[in-house]
Amino acid sequence: MTVAYLGLGANLGDARQTLKDAVVCLAQQHTIAVLAKSSFYRTAPIDAGGDDYFNCVVKLETTLPVRHLLALCHRIEHQFGRERPFRNAPRTLDLDILLYGDHCIDEPDLIVPHPRLTERAFALVPLVEIDAAIVIPQHGRADALLAAVASQRIEKMKSPCQCPILGALAGKNTESSGGGCR
């Protein structure tokens, strides 16, 4: 089993609900155990136009090799209507592998740790929320990198009830969520 961290983001449609449903979808996978989910954060698009993004990070344990995890992320994005008309286009759902164990991968279509993880508040802040002592391979402790992204606008969202998500994480029960894999 490998511990991995995924960054989730969306800025089209009901982005908050999409993120909730995507976490449930991940929890439904028999090859994945969702261990933790950060709060939702609202952030301005970076290097793009469009509406604000909603973001979160999930910590999971998986038996999937990294390439299979990447393929699963792409399938889930597609299920939620993700299109890629141009770089940094607005999106219904974006799933990025931020960390995969302590692996460092540098291939044309897969870089882990995520190549912009240390430059993006929308990834670093929720990552540190889940694990304050997390170390990013070749970069050091994530909390030590927060000062470099302090100028980026990020707002922690209040959540009136996370019951469906917590239920899905605890028992992989999707009946209470109204969402999940389609």
Active site (catalytic) residues: 82, 91, 94, 96
Enumerate the β-bridge partners of residue 106.
Answer: 111
DSSP SS3 for 55: strand
Pairing of strands 154-156, 41-43: antiparallel
Residue ranges in 6-120 assigned as alpha helix (H): 15-28, 66-79
Quickly count: other Cβ atoms within 10 Å of residue 58's Cβ: 26
Candidates 69, 70, 39, 75; CA nearest to 55 is: 39
**Which helix (H) or strand (E) is 123 found in, with range?**
helix 121-130
Q: Sign (positive/negative) of CA torsion 33, 97, 122, 26?
A: negative
What does residue 125 show for φ and ψ, rounded to 5 degrees? -60, -50
137 upstream amide cis, omega within 30 of 0: no
